[in-house]
Amino acid sequence: MGSYFATFHAKGIQLWGGPKWAKQAQIPHPQARLIEFSPCETYLVTFSPHYAEKDDPSDPKCIIVWDIRTGSKMRGFLSSATPQWPVLQWSYDDKYFARLNEDAISVYETPSMSLIEKQSIKIPGVKDFCWAPKDHVISYFVPESGNTPAKVVLMSIPTRRELRQKNLFNVSDCKMHWQSDGKYLCVKVDRHSKTKKTTFVNFELFRIKEKDIPIELLEIKDNVHAFAWEPKGDRFAIIHGENATRPDISFFSLAEKQLKKLKTLEKRPANSLFWSPAGDFIILAGLRGLNGVMEFFSTNTMETVANEEHTMCTNIEWDPSGRFVATHVSHWRHTMDTGYNIYSFAGKLQYKVVKDKFFQLQWRPRPPSLLSDEKQKEIVRDIQKYETGYALEEKENRKRLEKAQKAARNALRNEFNKLVDEREKEYAIWRLELNKIYGRDLEAEEKDTEEVEEVVEELLDEYEERVE
């Protein structure tokens, strides 16, 4: 939410915030290397590899959950020296957090930090899980084992009730992608034939908000290089194709009752997708080996807005409002030409900085809007009415501003004229005193002086004239 900024120190973490970014809290976790804020900024999770091999099971200090406001330790956890971060995953409202264990998912409730029902959820073979963005629901994946098919399950917390299950066969890998509002879940399933000689990709699309959570299937025969949901929208994009340097990019929509393909862009030099947080605009980027080419694309008009290139670009970060986007070359990947560019949402370069040993750029997060989703939709629907009102208000503001500027100019002019009058009076008095000293009117003598301008012509000799 952007309320705090954390800095790392030998003795722990320092949190800064407030209007002047003063110290807010000190987290005493020596040699902490990784941190994570809970979604509502109530808690902070820190990891210190210093305690990984010599931690005390009765008082773990490797991973610690802290109360941000008080700076007090809430609970510690054991961990390996190189955990997959984040180790703890939070529900959207900080009410629960969960951790993946062997054959189990442990779900804890806050602020007691105790296991719900005092025991973990036993799930033999569970490999991955994630929380729904707006509900107390987790999705988890269990790979195939013997004759038992792989499966993806939606489970309600804390009741542990299964909401939906999908069995999957011939699965090589599985990734789960939640849409930002929790309306949809996309399960990307890498599958192989029974002989394991050919592979293909299935997208299992769960409509979470509909009755019985129906599932739609999208099969892609090509290799899939990237997938991304439109934030707060019903669309998603896929990079796919056998040619890794110039694949195709396809856009789909789930807004209607049935999955609909919107458009396919053929042979684009892209390997990454970056949606604007406001939706509609997306950057089709070619990072790493594709040398930082970018196509700014509008999914409302299905047209390319701009084509840009930031040579050797390693990262792209949208501003939370969706108005600007930063691209940068990190010293982690390159030693020359490091720095960052800032573009408008339409791909116009606004600012460019070349900085030696530049490592990272992050936008400050923004807190959620105080307006409900319904109110935001109403504003978008009635935008013309608001534009008319704001145009009149802006016109009145411009008139007031012009009037204030004119008054300020007149005041400066009057002040200047007053100063000139004062100086002329001082000059007249000074002249009178000077005339008394010399016994004559110096100013009159200056007026009687005639200036004579003398023009001198020089004739060149005959040789010099020929030379010229």
Write the burial class of residue 137 (CB in 10 Å: 0-12 exposed, 13-18 middle, 19+ buried).
buried
Q: What is the pLDDT of residues 65-115, one digit of tens each?
A: 999 999 999 999 998 888 889 999 999 999 999 999 999 999 999 999 999
pLDDT at 449: 57
pLDDT score, position 464 = 52
DSSP symbols for 250-303: EEEE-SSSS-EEEEEE-S-S-SEEEE-TTSSEEEEEE-GGGTTEEEEEETTTTE
The pLDDT of residue 461 is 58
pLDDT at residue 458, as a whole number:
64
Mean pLDDT (10-residue bins), the chain, 468 residues: 94 94 94 95 95 87 94 92 91 96 96 94 96 96 91 96 94 94 95 81 95 94 93 94 92 92 95 94 92 95 95 94 95 91 96 94 89 83 83 90 94 95 91 80 63 65 53
**DSSP β-bridge partners for residue 121:** 105
Q: Judging by DSSP bridges, how do beta strands 121-122 and 324-329 pair with one another?
A: unpaired
> In angstroms, rounded to a whole number, what is the distance separating the alpha carbons of residues 19 and 102?
45
Q: How crowded is the C-beta side of 221, counted as CA atoms within 13 Å?
A: 0
Is-cis flag, bond preceding 39, omega within 30?
A: no
Task: Identify the pLDDT of residue 310.
Answer: 94
Q: What is the pLDDT of residue 369?
A: 82
Q: DSSP secondary-structure letter at 50?
A: G
CB 245 within 8 A of CB 193: no
Partner residues linked to 251 by β-bridges: 237, 263
- Domain assignments of the chain as residue spans, ordered by start: 371-468
Contacts of 150 (CB under 8 A, 6+ apart): 141, 142, 143, 144, 167, 168, 169, 171, 174
> How many CB atoms neighbour CB 290 within 10 A?
19
Q: Would you list the DSSP string of 67-111? A: ETTT--EEEEE---SS--S-SEEE-TTSSEEEEEETTEEEEEETT
| pTM, full prediction | 0.78
Q: Quick one: pLDDT at residue 466?
A: 54
